[in-house]
């Protein structure tokens, strides 16, 4: 059975400070479990998990020293033999928060779609219980709201010496993702050599973060990623076809570059449009939270063009910026990365 609470908002919450209570609810509870399973284990390489595993070894020089002693070799080699991982989530169980946050998401998304003149891409916005709804055949995207997200992994690293002795170390654990929203695209090379880009039919929003403004931006930010993804994929395909790349890894590098471009236009639109909408719905939200959210984002590589994207959108206007991205995504990219 899927537990989905439909929004049923008390009339008292529909005042001019409609969602002020949301901020209180965000601060009331931060749970580290129990986790439910969102997806089955998969064996694709995950760079973030691999980095976390390497950090595990770096922080335990005694373990590395023991491995070298057991192999009787100070210059051991190592390799990643196997990694598998699956997505976990902490369900949100507070009925009041579920109702308010779902209603807020629907309201603010509809307002932004009205301003940007995009169609609503969603089948439904769900707050997940302990089970995942079955995949729908309907065209569109399901939005899943959760309290927290993590990846569970099992990884095997093999250490070897010059005389071919080996020691296998298996690591397993859970890593919190700290991703407030996600919507992914994937590149594939078919047997006939053609290139195919696919996307998830869902987006996941986390309703828990240290900065409440980050949570309030998630539904709008991910919605803009979804409606702009078609144009981003046009840029990806054009760059792949006009280059001599041949491997999936090389193509994924191009996808990563374009994700950073998309983050710039989306982040610029959010920075331009959302503060006034949030102010309308949530009273007394400190402006410092907006700048704190921006400062935190720009610490990450995928947001490396974000501040330039904000400048461009404020110079051109948000409607003109969207038109440019729709008609010629490479032109927007060139404007963004020029010196």
The Cβ of residue 263 has, within 10 Å, a number of other Cβ atoms equal to 21
Give CA torsion, residues 69, 72, 78, 84, to 10 deg: -60
Q: Is 271:294 a contact under the CB 8 Å cutoff?
A: yes
| CA angle (268 as vertex; 267, 271 as ends), nearest 5 | 85
Tell me, yes or no, whether 236 lies in a domain. Answer: yes
Tell me, yes or no, whether 65 lies in a domain. Answer: yes
Domain shared by 282 and 228, yes or no: yes
Nearest to 176 by CA among 4, 30, 42, 27: 30
Q: Of the candidates 136, 159, 176, which is a domain's last residue?
A: 176
Tell me, yes or no, whether 2 lies in a domain. Answer: no
- CA distances in angstroms from 151 to 43, 140, 214, 239, 315, listed in the order given: 13, 26, 21, 32, 40
Tell me, yes or no, whether 5 lies in a domain. Answer: no
Tell me, yes or no, whether 251 lies in a domain. Answer: yes
Domain shared by 275 and 139, yes or no: yes
- The whole-number pLDDT of residue 181 equals 77
Domain shared by 53 and 105, yes or no: no
What distance in Å separates the CA atoms of residue 239 and residue 254, rounded to the nearest whole number? 7
Per-position b or e across 225-241, b if 16+ CB within 10 A of its CB: bbbbbebbbbbbbebbe
Domain shared by 100 and 211, yes or no: yes
Please tell me the total count of domains within the chain.
2
Q: Is 141:121 a contact under the CB 8 Å cutoff?
A: yes
Tell me, yes or no, whether 4 lies in a domain. Answer: no
As a whole number of Å, the CA-based R_g of the chain is 22
Domain shared by 136 and 185, yes or no: yes
- CA distances in angstroms from 6 to 128, 219, 297, listed in the order given: 11, 17, 32
Domain shared by 51 and 126, yes or no: no
Tell me, yes or no, whether 216 lies in a domain. Answer: yes
Domain shared by 276 and 324, yes or no: yes
- The whole-number pLDDT of residue 136 equals 63
Domain shared by 44 and 24, yes or no: no
* Domain residue limits at 52: 36-89+148-176
Domain shared by 248 and 290, yes or no: yes
Domain shared by 115 and 157, yes or no: no
- Output the tens digit of pLDDT for each of the chain's 339 residues: 233 223 333 444 343 467 888 888 887 766 777 899 988 898 888 878 888 888 888 899 899 889 888 888 777 888 899 899 999 999 998 999 999 999 999 999 999 999 999 999 999 999 998 777 776 666 789 999 999 999 999 999 999 887 778 889 999 988 888 777 777 767 777 777 677 777 778 899 999 888 989 999 999 999 999 999 999 999 998 888 888 877 877 888 888 899 999 999 999 999 999 998 888 888 778 889 999 999 999 898 889 999 999 999 999 999 999 999 999 999 999 999 884
Q: Is 100:21 a contact under the CB 8 Å cutoff?
A: yes
Domain shared by 103 and 223, yes or no: yes
Domain shared by 124 and 247, yes or no: yes
- The whole-number pLDDT of residue 198 equals 77
Could you give the residue ranges of the DSSP H alpha helices within the chain? 20-28, 47-58, 61-71, 95-116, 212-241, 248-281, 288-297, 306-316, 318-327, 329-337
Tell me, yes or no, whether 250 lies in a domain. Answer: yes
């Amino acid at each position: 059975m899927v537990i989905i609470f439909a929004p049923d908002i008390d009339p008292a919450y529909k005042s001019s400070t409609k969602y002020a209570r949301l901020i209180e609810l965000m601060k009331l509870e931060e749970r580290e479990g129990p986790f439910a399973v969102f997806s089955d284990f998969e064996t694709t390489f995950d760079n973030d998990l691999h980095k976390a595993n390497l950090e595990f070894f770096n922080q335990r020089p005694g373990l590395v020293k023991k491995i070298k002693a057991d192999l009787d070799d100070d210059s051991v080699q190592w390799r990643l033999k196997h990694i598998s991982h699956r997505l976990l989530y902490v369900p949100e169980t507070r009925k009041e928060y579920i109702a308010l946050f779902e209603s807020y998401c629907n309201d603010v998304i509809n307002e932004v779609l009205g301003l940007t003149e995009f169609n609503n891409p969603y089948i439904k916005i769900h707050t997940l219980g302990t089970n995942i709804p079955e995949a729908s055949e309907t065209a569109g995207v399901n939005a899943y709201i959760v309290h927290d997200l993590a990846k569970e992994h099992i990884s095997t690293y093999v250490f070897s010496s010059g005389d071919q002795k080996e020691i296998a170390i298996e690591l397993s654990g859970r890593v919190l993702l700290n991703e407030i929203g996600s919507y992914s695209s994937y590149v594939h090379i078919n047997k006939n050599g053609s290139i195919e880009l696919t996307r998830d039919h869902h987006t996941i929003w986390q309703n828990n973060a240290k900065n409440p403004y980050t949570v309030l931006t998630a539904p709008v930010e991910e919605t803009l990623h979804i409606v702009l993804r078609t144009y981003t994929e046009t840029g990806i395909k054009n760059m792949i076809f006009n280059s001599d790349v041949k491997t999936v890894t090389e193509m994924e590098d191009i996808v990563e570059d374009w994700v950073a471009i998309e983050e710039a236009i989306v982040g610029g639109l959010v920075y331009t449009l959302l503060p006034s909408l949030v102010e309308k719905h949530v009273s007394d939200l400190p402006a410092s939270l907006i700048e704190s959210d921006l400062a935190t984002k720009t610490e990450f590589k995928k947001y490396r063009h974000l501040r330039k994207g904000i400048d461009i959108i404020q110079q051109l206007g948000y409607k003109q910026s969207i038109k440019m991205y729709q008609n010629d995504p490479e032109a927007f990219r060139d404007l963004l990365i020029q010196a």
